[in-house]
Amino acid sequence: MMGACLVLFVGAWAVVRLFSIPVAIGMCVVAMLIPPVAAMTANRRGPEDRWWDDPSGDGQSDEWWDELDGKKRPDRD
Instruction: Determine the pLDDT at residue 70.
Output: 77
Cα-based distances in Å from 38 to 3, 44, 63, 71: 11, 10, 38, 36
Per domain, the residue ranges of the chain are 2-40
Length of the chain: 77
pTM of the model: 0.58
Question: What is the rounded distance in angstroms from the CA atom of residue 49 to the CA atom of residue 37?
Answer: 20
Query: Tens place of pLDDT for every residue, the chain, 77 residues?
Result: 889 999 999 999 999 999 999 999 999 999 999 999 999 988 887 767 666 667 777 888 888 877 887 776 666 65
